[in-house]
Chains A and B, each alone.
Chain A
Amino acid sequence: MNSNVTSVKLVLLGEAAVGKSSIVLRFVSNDFSENKEPTIGAAFLTQRVNIGNHTIKFEIWDTAGQERFASLAPMYYRNAQAALVVYDVTKPQSFIKARHWVKELQEQANKGIIIALVGNKADIIEDGEERKVAREEAEKLAEEEGLLFFETSAKTGNNVNETFLAIGEKIPLKNSSSANDQHHDTNNNNNQRIDLDNNPVDAASNAPGCSC
């Protein structure tokens, strides 16, 4: 395994049919399908992205959006380092739901989780349909809660890669020369599995600064 590869667990949350799976499909396969089957439980996909001379491997957990599946969500956002909270810019209800998700993640998920608020289906507005969630309102929420914010279109691909790249840039990179330090410096549970694999001794060592 290339030691310059950092794995990032990312989870997608948001109301049903806002386009979570479509965003993933666009990002992973640069593809779009109008009638995607609803995700049952969760789907798992991966995609690698190069940022500078580092590679970030996104392990993407795409979840079901219907309200009653919410009780399963903690299973999927457990240990996630990043989250996309997606809403539909033409559906105000989906924005309310997005607020709830942000709140839940901040309370329940890993500390330091990077959250991106994503208003999807921006292409519909360009086609003349009425926007129901003001950009300013979403920007305000993003600012208040410290979220990344993008308006995307999984259909046209607009801003989809940018969203993931912006998250990638905020992820503390795993530095091959000082993998040890990295483990201690970052507080965002940078994939422990890999750290343990690469540094089996480290886990048991009494290295200073390791308090987790």
Chain B
Amino acid sequence: MSFLGNLQQKVPFFDRIAESFTPALTRDERFKLQYRLPPDEKILDDTNADISFVGAFSKAHARKESGQTMAYVYSGKLYLTPHFLVFKDTFDENSCDMTLNISTVKRVERAPETSYVFALNVTLYNGTKILIQFLGLRYRSEQFCNLLKDKLKENIPVAKKLPSFLDTCYSEFLINKNVLKLTDINTPKAGLGQKYKYPGNPQLSQEKMKLRLWFDYFKENGLNLAIVKNHIFQKLIRVGVPNRMRGEIWELCSGALYLRYANSDEYQNILEENQGKKSRAIDEIEKDLNRSLPEYTAYQKEEGISRLRNVLTAYSWKNPDVGYCQAMNIVAAGLLIFMTEEQAFWCLTTLCENFVPGYYSKTMYGTLLDQKVFETLVSERLPELWDHIEANDIQLSVVSLPWFLSLFFTSMPLEFAFRIMDIFFMNGYRTLFQVSLAILKVNSEDLLQAEEDGMFIAILKNYFRTLDESAHPDSDDPKFKHITKFQELLVTAFKEFNIITDEMVSQERNKHRKRVFENIEIFVKKTQVRQMPKTFHLKESDLSNIYEIFYQSVETYKISLGTGSANMNFEIFSQFLGKFCDWCKPTSNDTDPIFIQQKNDFLHKLFNDWDVNEAGELTLNNVISGLDKLVTKDLMELLTYFFSLFDGDKDGELKREEVLQMSEALLFLTTPWKSGIYVDDLTLKTIEMDIADNIIKENGDSLNSMEDLTLPTGVTINEEKYKNEQIERYLKAASNFLKRSFEYAKSLELPEDFNLIDLSDNEEDDIKKKKFESIKHNAALDPAHPKAIDVATFRMIILADETYEIFFGRTLRESIHVDEPCDADPSKNRALRGMFDGIIADGRRVAAQVRRRVDSVATTKSAAASIHTTGHSETTSNFANTSRDDRFEDLDDFSSELQEEHEDLLDSPWVEMTMEKEDSEGPERKLLNIPTKKENIEQPDESHNLLEFEA
């Protein structure tokens, strides 16, 4: 309960996280996503232009050679990025969409000038000609050209890689073989399908026809790194890309082609650099290698398995935040049927990062988010079915989640899943939503009959199995009858659900993102808290707080995204403690080199003790276990633990050096009290006693019964006096500690009767003697006597000093605020509340003290009053114990860090307190007024109730 309550308080914290991940795309980012350009591209300049593209082997080109120039001219916008020229037709963006890698440009020349046209003739490596006519102001066009010239120069080194890269492109091979009639060329390396066949019925004639169509397209419109995409391109994709062409078309449409070209050695390098290395992702990958499209022949053989292993492990090294997620194995296995390892690697990279962002992350936030988006779209587009799903409590995501996560590869026969991939790579993520909606729509009649998950799933399973069958088996029209369920699905998806746009999906994602992230954070927290080590002193709500403070400290770690390291190094550890330990909070001492040294020494001791795996980093569980030891209520246990921190060699004894270290640590730990920032319980008690004394003195014998007790209406506290007393006490405790440590330390010299006892055992004697000599010898190096204290002595020394006894028994534990939820801004409110609480609690305790005294005077006079008093004085009388009422939580903050703040606060309140009588006569109100204005000290109130304290 408290756990959930705490979580609810954290909502503002979640808000900040959600906001920081709400993607507001810049123009550059949108542009890159739209044209699938690599992440380091950006728009350098853009201009309006008319262009015409004459493919090297096109009919128009042929005519041009023969003197007739004729080509389509498109009007649109031309963009320049560091490595690309991109053009998009303004009127019909599907008519001409050119992406040209600058390194393919062989020559640029100014077209013969006519009076007002400024134009460039661009010639590509294969002879393709592009005419660019600039529209607009002349100087802007010149600017663009100058920039283009610079980029052309910069891309010269890139152009050197061009020929070898082109050798890997099947499109280039088609041209070389069929147009240029080259004979000494090899088929470029391709996917496993080249050897192990492609899934589905080999309709060779269709395959050949489709290849031919692509060949014709390339001749007219260019290919791979310099291509114009138009209506025909989209049509060719929609009818299904021929298997041989598929790898390259997927690369081209996804932008993986550009990544591979720009990072030509990276894949091999990653594999080589990480050869033989182990990781969790690798273990997980190994488990699944034999389980990735196992029905496909190549994946029953080492050849297929090893390619899959390489691609998946390479990706896990490239993006360790994702590592490996089940379903990636299936997607990668699918890609490898059509692609080489390197192609598949880059395709997987761009897929994970741009097409299905967050799907495979450690928290799978993208998957969860898109399921929410999908449910919303179903409820909007298929309301009847959605109502049915809701009414029957059917888990839609059980069926839809695998569609999205493994891109239909595990849901429908591969040949159909690949057809969907063709469109997916061209159109992006909206495709998944369009197809999924269409699947539900096409089956909605049957699905409306399904009243439980099982039937729902069975209907869809059966549908996928029969995708190649006729959608209208009973139709008389042979044409109609010929339409397969798959064709029907595509039509429904891309005609009817064409209205589902990327913008729509993206808007829905933004709507749900915050909620999904919150749920993930709550889930992650629950899981982690559940898996925390057993604690003896920390409560569940404490664990919840520590969890929050921990992850606020490890700022690079994003819980909902599952990225970054969740462990803390020493520096973060120090900041972490500073958030809730009074002795570690940033203070003015932080510039004092001695203090810094003390602080670092002690924190290092803690850090090393908690770092049980010697990893140099602390996990959440390390911190929990460590803190648990530090907040024990058992004084002896705490002393033993504290002792062990300094007993470096774990021999049960602290040597001189270790005692000195401990003394330094104590100086550091007690700083806030030693400098009067906080008030400890001894001081508090003294103040209460003084007030009580004065009340008694003031009222004298008139205090006959509790009914007559008037609490003081005005109390002034001479803060300086108590502060100084406390400071003195702490300094004395520190010096006493050192003094006693060396006084009570056991001498390391062996007893004098050493030789007398072990007469018989000569051999052993010798050894002992030698040991003794060596100890003596070492001791001689130290001018002081070699002495050591054991844990019993240490305890005695601490217990001998009231200040340190209270410090270990209570002050230290209570200075570690594991029980306070961390706020975004903890400083102000907490200090304020602390002050009020302090005064109220103080007043109550003062009252209790007074009552106790009155009681002892008038025990016999009023039995009722006595009962009454006991009820309230309990907290005070329990004071000597280590247990403490929660109401006094912030007593330590009695005087806050800031002097001014302290005064302000004391200025303000007339503290009103309510005390309930136990004899059910109804509450009786009594006032304890504590005016603390300085004027009050000088000009005391005339009221007879005023009590004044002076030093």
The interface of chain A, by Cβ under 8 A from chain B, is 16-17, 34-42, 44, 46, 59, 61, 64-66, 68-72, 74-76, 100, 103-104, 107-108, 193, 197
If A17-B288, A37-B294, A40-B402 touch, does A71 touch B330 (CB 8 Å cutoff)?
no
Given A69-B364, A74-B523, A75-B397, residue A44 in contact with residue B288 (CB < 8 A): no
Chain B hits for A40, CB < 8 A: 326-327, 330, 401-402, 405-406, 410
Q: Which of B329, B363, B452, B531 contacts A71 (CB 8 A)?
A: B363
Query: Which residues in A have their C-beta under 8 angstroms from that of B405?
Result: 40-41
Minimal beta-carbon separation of A95 from chain B (angstroms): 14
B398 near A41 with CB under 8 A, answer: yes
B residues in contact with A41, CB < 8 Å: 397-398, 401-402, 405
Within 8 A of A (CB), among B498-537: 520, 523-524, 526-527, 530-531
Knowing A35-B294, A75-B395, A75-B397, say if A69 contacts B454 (CB, 8 Å). Answer: no
Q: Which of A36, A46, A66, A107 contacts B326 (CB 8 A)?
A: A66
Residues of B with C-beta under 8 A to A107? 530
Which A residue sits closest to B454, measured CB to CB?
A46
B293–A66 CB distance below 8 A? no
A17 and B410 in contact, given A38-B326, A59-B453 (Cβ under 8 angstroms): no
Interface string of B300-332 (1 = CB under 8 A from A): 000000000000000000000000011101100
A172 to B358, CA, bound (A): 43
B530 partner, pick from A34, A59, A104, A193, beta carbons under 8 A:
A104
| A72–B404 CA distance with the chains assembled, in angstroms | 14
Cα A73 to Cα B908 with chains together (Å)? 54
Whole-angstrom distance between the Cβ of A68 and the nearest chain B Cβ: 5
Distance in Å from the Cβ of A67 to the closest Cβ of chain B?
8
Task: Specify the chain A residue showing the minimal Cβ separation from B457.
Answer: A44
Whether B362 lies near A68 (C-beta < 8 A) is yes
B397 and A38: CB pair below 8 A?
no
Asked if residues A71 and B520 are in contact (CB atoms below 8 Å), the reply is yes
Do the beta carbons of A44 and B454 come within 8 Å of each other? Answer: yes
A16 to B280, CA, bound (A): 13
Decide if B393 is an interface residue (CB 8 Å cutoff): yes
Give the docked Cα–Cα distance between A64 and B907 (Å): 63
- Set of chain A residues within 8 Å of B290, measured between Cβ atoms: 34-35
Given contacts A40-B327, A64-B326, 14 further A-B contacts (CB under 8 A): A16-B284, A16-B326, A36-B294, A37-B294, A37-B330, A68-B562, A69-B326, A69-B364, A71-B363, A72-B364, A74-B523, A75-B395, A104-B527, A193-B392
The distance in angstroms between the C-alpha atoms of A71 and B364, with both chains bound, is 8
Q: A37-B330, A66-B284, A69-B364 known; A193 and B452 CB under 8 Å?
A: yes
Please judge, given known A-B contacts A17-B287, A66-B284, A75-B395, whether A44 and B453 are in contact too, CB under 8 Å.
yes
Alpha-carbon distance between A65 and B283 when the two chains are bound, in angstroms = 14
Q: Quote the shortest CB–CB distance from A92 to chain B (angstroms).
A: 14
- The 7 A-B pairs at the shortest CB distance, nearest first, are namely A41-B401, A40-B402, A35-B290, A35-B294, A17-B287, A38-B326, A66-B326
List the B side residues contacting A34 at CB < 8 Å. 290
**Which residues of B are found within 8 Å of A35, using beta-carbon distances?**
290-291, 294
Q: Is the CB of A36 within 8 A of B401?
A: no
How far is A46 from B454 in the complex, measured between Cα atoms in Å? Answer: 7
Chain A residues with CB under 8 A of B457: 44
Mask for B325-346, Cβ within 8 A of A = 1, else 0?
Answer: 1110110000000000000000
Size bin of chain B's contact surface? 35 or more
For this complex, 24 residue pairs linking A to B, each with C-beta atoms less than 8 Å apart, are: A17-B287, A17-B288, A37-B294, A37-B410, A38-B326, A38-B329, A40-B327, A40-B402, A40-B406, A41-B397, A41-B405, A42-B401, A44-B398, A44-B457, A59-B454, A66-B284, A68-B361, A68-B562, A69-B326, A69-B364, A72-B368, A100-B527, A103-B530, A104-B530
Q: Chain B residue with minimal CB distance to A40?
A: B402
> Is the CB–CB distance between B325 and A66 below 8 Å?
yes
Query: Chain B contacts of A59 at CB under 8 A?
Result: 452-454
Interchain nearest-CB distance for A45 vs B (Å):
8
Distance in Å: Cβ of B298 to nearest Cβ of chain A: 13
Q: In the complex, which of the residues A16, A61, A71, A104 contacts B368, with contact meaning CB atoms closer than 8 Å?
A: A71
Please measure, in the bound complex, the distance between the C-alpha atom of A108 and the C-alpha atom of B520, giving whole angstroms. Answer: 15
Q: Is there contact, CB below 8 Å, between B531 and A36?
A: no
| Complex: A39 Cα to B364 Cα, angstroms | 15
Q: CA separation between A17 and B292, bound complex, in Å?
A: 13
Chain B residues numbered 523-570 whose CB sits less than 8 Å from any CB in chain A: 523-524, 526-527, 530-531, 562
Nearest CB of chain A from residue B934's CB, rounded to whole Å: 57
A38 CB to nearest B CB, Å: 5
A residues less than 8 Å from B293 (CB atoms): 37
Q: Which residues of B contact A42 (CB under 8 A)?
A: 398, 401
Cα(A66)–Cα(B330), bound, Å: 14
Q: Mark B397-425, 1 if CB is under 8 A from A, else 0.
A: 11001100110001000000000000000
Q: Residues of B contacting A68 with CB < 8 Å?
A: 325, 361-364, 562
In the complex, the answer to whether A72 meets B562 with C-beta atoms within 8 Å is no
Per the bound structure, the CA–CA distance linking A46 and B461 in Å amounts to 14
Q: Is B523 in contact with A71, judged by CB distance below 8 angstroms?
A: yes
Once bound together, how far apart are the Cα atoms of A42 and B457, in whole Å? 11
Asked if B401 and A193 make an inter-chain contact with CB atoms under 8 angstroms apart, the answer reads no
- Given that A35-B291, A71-B364 are known contacts, is A76 also in contact with B398, CB under 8 Å in the complex? yes
Contact A38 B398 (CB under 8 A): no
Closest-by-CB residue of B relative to A78 is B395
With A70-B527, A75-B395, A103-B530 in contact, is A38–B454 under 8 Å at CB? Answer: no
A104 to B527, CA, bound (A): 8
- Bound state CA distance, A75 and B363, in angstroms? 15
Question: A75 contacts which chain B residues (CB < 8 A)?
Answer: 395, 397-398
Contact A100 to B531, CB < 8 A, known contacts A40-B405, A40-B410: yes
The CA of A44 and the CA of B402, in the complex, are separated in Å by 12
Q: Which residues of A contact B523 (CB under 8 A)?
A: 71, 74
Smallest Cβ-Cβ distance to A108: which chain B residue: B526
Residues from chain A with Cβ under 8 Å of B452 in the complex: 59, 193
Most buried by B among A17, A38, A66, A69: A38
A103 and chain B: residue at smallest CB distance: B530
Are B291 and A38 within 8 A (Cβ)? Answer: yes
Residues of B within 8 A of A46 (CB): 454
In the assembly, what is the distance between CA of A104 and CA of B526, in Å? 9
Instruction: Report how far A76 CA is from B290 CA in the complex, Å.
Output: 26
Contact with A along B376-394 (1 / 0, CB 8 A): 0000000000000000110
Question: A36 touching B291 by the CB < 8 A rule?
Answer: yes
A127 to B393, alpha carbons, bound, how many Å?
45
Residues on B with beta carbons closer than 8 Å to the beta carbon of A65: 326
Residue from the list B284, B401, B524 in contact with A72, Cβ < 8 A: B401
Q: Which residues of chain B are near A39, meaning CB under 8 Å?
A: 326
User: Which residues from A are CB-within-8-Å of B288?
Assistant: 16-17, 38
Closest beta carbon of chain B to A111's beta carbon, Å: 16
Distance in angstroms between the alpha carbons of A103 and B363 in the assembled complex? 20
A59's nearest neighbour on chain B, judged by CB, is B454
Q: Find chain A residues with CB under 8 A from B526 CB.
A: 108
- Please give, as numbers and ranges, the residues of chain A lying within 8 Å of B287 by CB-CB distance: 16-17, 38
How far is A180 from B802 in the complex, measured between Cα atoms in Å?
Answer: 70
A38 to B288, CA, bound (A): 7
Complex Cα–Cα for A100 and B530 (A): 8
Q: Beyond A16-B284, A69-B326, is A37–B401 a contact (Cβ under 8 Å)?
A: no
CB B280 to nearest CB in A, in angstroms, measures 9
Write the nearest CB–CB distance from B142 to chain A, whole angstroms. 54
Task: Find chain A residues with CB under 8 A from B524 CB.
Answer: 71
Chain A: which residue is nearest B524 at the CB level? A71
Give the chain B neighbours of A74 by CB distance below 8 A.
523
Tell me the minimal C-beta distance from A66 to chain B in angstroms: 5
* Chain B residues whose C-beta falls within 8 Å of the C-beta of A16 in the assembled complex: 284, 287-288, 326
B532 to chain A, nearest CB (A): 11
Nearest CB to that of B402 among chain A residues? Answer: A40
Query: How far is A162 from B361 in the complex, measured between Cα atoms in Å?
Result: 38
A114 to chain B, nearest CB (A): 20
Residues of A within 8 A of B530 (CB): 100, 103-104, 107
Give the Cβ gap from A159 to chain B, nearest Cβ, in Å: 23
